[in-house]
Amino acid sequence: MNGAGGCVGPFAVQLAKASGAHVTGVDHPGKHALLRAAGADDVVDHTREDVTRSGRTFDVVLDIADTRSVLAMRRCLAPGGRYVLVARRIGSFVETALLGPVVGRATGTRMGTFAWRSNDRRDLDELGELLVSGALRPVVDSTWPLARAADAVRHLASGRARGKVVVTP
């Protein structure tokens, strides 16, 4: 998981672990303890290692950071692997949506963007069971009063958040 230490990443790590995956989290060293606590088996310091040029390959790459091109991310996919972008920028969304399927067909992989779908009762039941069992736990970075919502958003945008940023009325 590229960008695994932010707001979405800890949930994604826990969901992957609950599904039996071996998880490698990629983020800066200040977030490695969070990734390990969420269940990551391995962590990669993106400031020291370019995971797309490391020679390591992965069956699934979830790209939450949205910092690399689809062609760069293709280098770390195993044959038959799958790349999913959680797009944060319109340019990368368009690139992945248009170029991803072409690159995927040419390389025997699947490359695309995360697609929203409406809530499905079975998915919600499964999430509920994971929450009740403790396999999925919300990771809260900080709680802010409504009067400081702008500060909370700036904190989130800074990339320093380690988990969810909660604004309370």
Q: What is the pLDDT of residue 82?
A: 95
Helices (H), the chain: 9-18, 32-38, 70-74, 90-107, 121-133, 149-157
Q: Identify the DSSP state of 2.
A: B
Shared domain check, 150 and 101: no
Q: What is the pTM of this model?
A: 0.87
Number of domains the chain contains: 2
Shared domain check, 163 and 99: no
Residue 37's closest CA among 141, 150, 109, 160?
141
Q: What is the pLDDT of residue 113?
A: 86
Does any domain span residue 124? Answer: no
List, for residues 27-36, the tens digit of each pLDDT value: 999 999 999 9
List, for residues 43-74, the tens digit of each pLDDT value: 999 999 999 999 999 999 999 999 999 999 99
Task: Give me the domain span that covers residue 29.
Answer: 9-113
Shared domain check, 156 and 103: no
* Residue ranges of the chain with per-residue pLDDT less than 50: none
Q: What is the pLDDT of residue 32?
A: 95
Question: What is the spatial distance between Cα 103 and Cα 36, in angstroms, rounded to a whole number?
Answer: 32
Shared domain check, 149 and 97: no
